[in-house]
Structure 1
Amino acid sequence: MENTYVVYDDSKECVIIDPGCYERSEQLALHNFITQNGLQVKHLLNTHCHIDHVLGNAYVMHQYGVPLEIHEIEKTQLKAVESYAPSYGFTQYQPSEASVWLQEEDVIRFGSTELRVMFTPGHAAGHVVFVCDAAGFVINGDVLFQGSIGRTDLPGGDFDTLIQSIQQKMFLLPDETVVYCGHGPSTTIGYEKRTNPFCALSR
């Protein structure tokens, strides 16, 4: 129920964002996609470190020899997953540690693609999104959903901060920007600006 993204271009270099793969079958699905498309993994990125977005971090790090990249504020959240994973039924969870810290306006480069890091707290204290200005999309984790927003009742969440992140950062992107969400279907910035019941700028 969590969306893992593999972003790649004609160079065949790619990044993996928010690997939620826990079961072996899920890991194989990711591996087979990368193998069948002849991709070379260059970066492992987390938008934030809630359990459903980090379950596959250790697998990807081991399988492809890449470091984990997160916002430093999320370091505590990532560490906490190990203690509460069994209570969610993830008794075989393999912990991971980040070694690269993402900051606002960092640029992730692979092949001929650039992803711009934008700091968007509210759902999680250290949440970031990855904007591809050239191709007109954003990998947005759990900030904005089709007709909804990320929950703010988890540790590090704050409703007012989330709305500010959406209206003062996400909504500055062009209306046609495609928003790829951490859960559920994609949407566009323009559609959510007009219709989202939580954060629309006009009705």
Structure 2
Amino acid sequence: MNVKIFEFNPIAVNTYVLYDETGECVIVDAACFFPNEQQELLNFINEKKLDVKHLINTHLHFDHVFGINFIEKQFDVKMQAHKADEFLLANMEQQMAMFGFPANGDYIPTLSKYIDENDTIEFGNQKLSIISVPGHSPGSIVFYNEEKGIAVSGDVLFNGSIGRTDLPQGNHNLLIDGIKTKMLTMPVNTVVYPGHGPDTSIEKETKTNPFLQ
């Protein structure tokens, strides 16, 4: 499985394109905000001749969904995420204003399909299992491929840190418990691709993350 990373919008969100030798791919957290960012993502998909099979989100905070409507117009896909985060879309303009963005309803997407731990995302010869790890948001999920040793963690787990829990329906204790019981139990060489910042590993976070000691 190939992992292409883009850093988009002023909050520096990592958008991921996961693809394999079949040319099928998924887009995780389409966060492209500016037109040049939208074009950069589109150019990569077109240059690689990728077939976009799924548009999936780790959670629905405003900075992670800026590019959803754009992608849905370009490809025959609809956003999939956990139902528990759907409420965040209703106050997305307020979230944007809090962080200094102009309130613009054009960026507000629709959650078209609910996904949860019992579901699997399939594309090409790959499968992503879904792990529910609430706390940063109630619907935060991790996309995991055990065979390849890849976990796309969104804002659950970062390199040396964890997701903030002072946002609506955040829960610090729930987040810590979920990380320890559902992520730190993964093989130590699992690569973690977070929603912001550089990738890391389960081994590193188990040994050195100050929030998990």
What's the TM-score once normalised by structure 1's chain length? Answer: 0.95
- Equivalent residue number for residue 196 of structure 2: 183
Q: Is residue 2:124 matched to residue 1:89? A: no
Structure 1 residues 85-139: Cα deviation after superposition (integer angstroms, max 9, x where no partner): 3453244442211121111131100110000000000101110010011111100
| Cα distance in 2, alignment partners of residues 34 and 158 from structure 1 | 37
Matched, 1:52 2:63: yes
Q: Are 2:168 and 1:155 equivalent residues in the alignment?
A: yes
2:87 maps to: 76
Runs of 4+ in 1 over 6 A off after TM superposition: none
Letter of the aligned partner of 2:51 in structure 1? Q
Query: Which 5+ residue runs of structure 1 have no aligned equivalent?
Result: none
Q: SS where residue 130 of structure 2 aligns? A: strand
Q: CA deviation at 1:63?
A: 1.0
- What whole-Å deviation, never above 9, does each CA across 1:48-75 have from its counterpart, x for those lacking one? 0111101111111111120110101111
Q: Which amino acid aligns with 2:68?
A: N
Moved more, 77-86 or 12-21: 77-86
In the alignment, structure 1 residue 98 sits paired with structure 2 residue 111: yes
- Structure 2 counterpart of 1:196: 209
Q: Which runs of 5+ in 2 are unaligned?
A: 1-11
Distance 1:85 1:198 in 2: 28
Alpha-carbon contact 2:85-2:140 (below 8 Å) kept: yes
2:155 to 136, 142, 146: 142
Q: For 2:143 and 2:118, locate their aligned partners in 1 and report how far apart those are by CA, in whole Å.
A: 10
Q: Secondary structure at the match of 1:34?
A: helix
- State the alpha-carbon separation in 1 of the partners of residues 107 and 63 from structure 2: 13
Matched to 2:147, the amino acid is A
Q: Which residue of 2 is the match for residue 112 of structure 1? A: 125
Report 1:114-129 matches (<5 A): 114-129=127-142
TM-score, with structure 2 as normaliser: 0.90
1:64 aligns with 2:52: no
Aligned residues, how many? 200
Fraction of identical pairs, as percent: 43
User: Which residue does the alignment assign to 1:29?
Assistant: 40
How well do the aligned residues superpose, as a CA RMSD in angstroms?
1.2
CA distance in structure 1 between the aligned counterparts of 2:146 and 2:57, rounded to whole angstroms:
19
